[in-house]
Amino acid sequence: MRPPELVGRQSEVDFVNLMIAKSTQRRNDGGLIMYGLRGVGKTVLLNELQQLVGRAGWVTVQLEARPGQSGRLAVRQSLGRGIAMAGRQMARFRSAVEEVKTAISTISAFSFTVAGVSMNLGVDRSDHRANSGLLEVDLEELVADLAEPLRKNNSALAIFVDEMQDLDVDLLTALLAVQHRAVQSDWPFFIIGAGLSTLRRTLAEARSYVERFTIREVGALPDEEARAAVRNPATALGAKISDDALEAILGEAQGYPFFLQTFGKAVWDIAPDRNIDREIAVAGIAEGNADLDQNFFPARWDRTTPGERQYLRAMVDVGGGDMASTSAIAEQLGTAATSLSPVRQSLIEKGIIYAERRGYVSFTVPNMDRFIRRQADTDE
């Protein structure tokens, strides 16, 4: 949900504005990938950036990756449809009409080849472009054929990818490789992605292509911004929040947007009038925490097996909030580190932990350690 006040993301907005400005001058300095913990505001930011480039006349495609074989098929469907919809948008271009038509016939072939999508775009499907069935080849031909007509209409193509850590390796590689080619040839093609911190490791393995990306962490909000995120929407509605009430909320949320919104909402709902003092804030925070314990944390916890829970508890015991050493976890559990690697791997695949550094694991969810402590053994 778009927050009433989207704060603290100006540098990403500026970055994309610069990307637009350069593209107008036929330059491409590469795509943008953002990573961060659960609930830190990645999706909201991606949507904001998509609107931004849309207002600049860019054509966009929105993908949300999901794990497994079904995710692999679903994301290809979205890609095929999204590109076809992009073709619809391009059909309205005013300049280079003949080139646009050729591009749309490539689009038609691409959508059909990648996902069996056959949408009537008013031109015949190309019988020699973007139809090899090799994703990387077809995507490159697509982007190559779109480049000139997009440029001549002062536009560009951007693919937005959310939950990028779940993208299958074939599509990920194809996207990275084509971004690489686009930079070399200054084609107006950009990938803007976001995902969990797990992504950094995946990207590091893709090596050289990643040089064509700016990679940024989306983190917790600094104090001033977190304050604005809570205070401004409230004052806009005529409420008064006392300083100590605000401090209580900020202290509990630690700058994490999802927590700020949860506590903000709970405090708002509980307040009998528009004067919010510390007492109301404290009561609201308790409500908010109950809500998080019911709805936010269990979404991850409930998907784990007993063995995985043991591992997570050991992680909390040895490491607390930040990184936990895998050998310390093994020691805590009284086994060898190697015998724990399947458990570790499946927790990574479930998006609950990530391993940024060799030999260490961390939670993808802020404050997950505190939640686990609260689950004192009741379920074992």
Q: Which does 376 bind (CB under 5 to 8 A by kind): ligand ATP, Mg ion, none?
A: none
Shortest gap between Cβ of 195 and Mg ion (angstroms)? Answer: 9
43 binds Mg ion (CB under 5 A): yes
Beta-carbon neighbour count of residue 68 at 10 Å?
Answer: 11
Tally of residues, the chain? 380
Q: Which is nearer to ligand ATP, 199 or 229 (CB)?
A: 229
Q: How many residues bind to ligand ATP according to rule CB under 6 A?
A: 19
Shortest gap between Cβ of 332 and ligand ATP (angstroms)? Answer: 28
Structure tokens at 175: 């996207």
47 binds Mg ion (CB under 5 A): no
Q: How many residues bind to Mg ion according to rule CB under 5 A?
A: 2
Contact map string, positions 187 to 216, toward Mg ion, x by CB under 5 A: ------------------------------
7 binds ligand ATP (CB under 6 A): yes
Gap between the Cα atoms of 305 and 380, Å rounded: 10
Instruction: Tell which one of 19, 31, 42, 111 touches ligand ATP (CB under 6 A).
Output: 42
264 binds ligand ATP (CB under 6 A): no
Which residue's Cβ has the minimum distance to ligand ATP?
Answer: 41
Between strands 240-241 and 213-217, the pairing is unpaired
AA identity, residue 196: L
According to DSSP, the residues that pair with 160 across neighbouring strands are 62, 192
324 binds ligand ATP (CB under 6 A): no
Gap between the Cα atoms of 188 and 156, Å rounded: 5
Comparing CA positions, the residue from 132, 140, 194, 204 lying closest to residue 167 is: 194
77 binds Mg ion (CB under 5 A): no
Asked if 301 contacts 267 with a C-beta cutoff of 8 angstroms, the reply is no
Gap between the Cα atoms of 244 and 247, Å rounded: 5
| Interacting positions 219-238 with ligand ATP (CB under 6 A) | 229
Instruction: Tell which one of 43, 89, 154, 242 touches ligand ATP (CB under 6 A).
Output: 43
Helical H runs in the chain?
Answer: 10-24, 42-55, 68-90, 97-115, 135-152, 169-185, 198-205, 223-236, 243-253, 257-270, 278-291, 298-301, 306-319, 326-333, 341-349, 368-374
242 binds Mg ion (CB under 5 A): no
Shortest gap between Cβ of 245 and ligand ATP (angstroms)? Answer: 18
CA distances from 278 to 244, 247, 251, 268, 285 (A): 6, 9, 12, 13, 10
38 binds ligand ATP (CB under 6 A): yes
284 binds ligand ATP (CB under 6 A): no
Q: Which does 6 bind (CB under 5 to 8 A by kind): Mg ion, ligand ATP, none?
A: ligand ATP
Q: Which is nearer to ligand ATP, 82 or 257 (CB)?
A: 257
Q: Give the binding site for Mg ion (CB under 5 A).
A: 42-43
Site residues for ligand ATP per CB under 6 A: 1, 3, 5-9, 36, 38-44, 229, 257-258, 261
